Amino acid sequence: MALTGATGFIGRNLALTLRHRGHPVRALARRPGTAGELAAAGCELVRGDLDDREALQALVHDCRYVVHLAGAVRGARYGDFHRVNVEGSRKLFLALAGQPEPPRLLFFSSLAAREPRLSWYGRSKKEAEDALRETAVTALPWTILRPPAVYGPGDRELLPLLRTMARGIAPLPGSAAARASLLHVDDAVSATLACLGSEAAIGETFPLHDGREGGYSWRDIAEVVARQRDRRVRLLPLPRLLLDLVAAGNLASARLLGRAPMLTPSKLRELRHPDWVADNAAITAATGWQPAIDLTAGLATLPGIG
């Protein structure tokens, strides 16, 4: 199996799971020096990125399965996301379609692609999905996953917020009534393998979640953390104007200094959206997959919380 994004959060967990089960893994690595854990686990590393056509050809040559996880999650302008998430993905799709026997492809998109008008990230993921469907007029067999927020050991995005909650404060960037689905990384891995093993998943786009129908409100999450830590967790709404000013300041300084910020006005629109709830009906019907880790069990796996 070939992976892009294998040094990232989900990719690393998928690669190590596959190696633990004895499957060969070939991983694209922009800086192989940062992939020591993968190399130690027996992964074959291909130096390069999504802009490197030769590296992409080497990555996918003679592979039966490819999982595309690489992508940009932060940037100071839409072009930062488009260059990697759309154009880089398109190069990979073309490399796959050009193989004598195109492999099965699983593309990790995002639930944010459901609302592409909200954020640069969501728009770029939706355009990458469209690029895949355009490429797949050939015999390229594909499946798209749209996970919600994914957490677990090694996560750098949701874990800091959960640790803040574990200390007794739940900062809210938007409405306390907003609802969102969550997914533990181990379930993201099992969903990947279920899709790749199912012919019924070919040509389908699947949202997925941890089994909590209707998702979670911020209060729901705070209550689960409170039970886990046996302490009160207080909801703390963050002033809208303050967040707007911080996001605008981040964007201005990033463009001046050439950095890639996470919190921007684009990201705030995504965070404030009231409905990021997913539905497992389609993926379960096609593959039989069901999540195994609810939020209580998932939090128990996290250092500093469980």
H-helix or E-strand containing 26? strand 26-29
The Cα 122–Cα 250 span in angstroms is: 19
pLDDT of 256 over the 80 cut: no
Neighbours of 288 (CB within 10 A): 11
Angle subtended by helix axes 9-20 and 185-196, to nearest 10: 60
Is 90 exceeded by the pLDDT of residue 305? no
pLDDT of 152 higher than 80: yes
- CA 68 to chain CA centroid, Å, is 10
CA distance 141 to 116: 24
Residue partners of 246: CB distance under 8 A and separation at least 6:
263
Which residues, in sequence order, are bridge partners of residue 108?
A: 145
Average pLDDT over residues 50-74: 96
CATH 3.10.580.10 fits 2-152+182-211+278-291, yes or no: no
Domain ranges in the chain are 2-152+182-211+278-291
The mean pLDDT value of the chain amounts to 93
The whole-model pTM stands at: 0.94
Q: For the ranges 1-5, 111-115, 124-128, 174-178, which has the lowest average pLDDT?
A: 174-178
Give residue-wise pLDDT tens across range 95-142: 999 999 999 999 999 999 999 999 999 999 999 999 999 886 667 899
Q: What is the pLDDT of residues 24-35, one digit of tens each?
A: 999 999 988 889
